[in-house]
């Protein structure tokens, strides 16, 4: 499998990346993204302070239903950085 570049998503490229996810659904049956960033599930302002963003991320830990597990011990074929 070819390496996949995972971009950082910010205010200026948010819509572009959402459209990329939408387009990927025409090629793949499953796409995923990290919802840990502030404001995705809650209304954290994009210009929130670092301490506010950290608080919101910490709160999101309770909302996560668990981490993904794989039969091969969790080794991934690629890692987006």
Per-residue pLDDT at 78: 42
pLDDT 10s digit of each residue in the chain, 81 long?
566 677 777 778 888 988 988 888 888 877 777 666 555 556 677 777 888 777 766 766 655 554 444 444 544 444 443
Contact present, 34 and 60 (Cβ < 8 Å): no
Per-residue pLDDT at 53: 74
The two most distant CA atoms of the chain are separated, in Å, by: 40
- Chain centroid to CA 20: 13
Show Cβ contacts of residue 74 under 8 Å, excluding neighbours closer than 6 positions: 68
**CB neighbourhood size of 25 (10 A):** 10
């Amino acid at each position: 499998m070819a390496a996949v570049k995972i971009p950082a998503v910010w205010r200026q490229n948010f819509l572009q990346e959402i459209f990329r996810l939408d387009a990927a659904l025409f090629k793949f049956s499953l796409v995923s993204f990290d919802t840990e960033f502030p404001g995705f599930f809650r209304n954290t302002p994009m210009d929130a302070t670092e301490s506010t963003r950290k608080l919101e991320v910490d709160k999101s830990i309770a909302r996560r239903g668990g981490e993904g597990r794989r039969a091969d011990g969790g080794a991934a074929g690629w890692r987006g950085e």
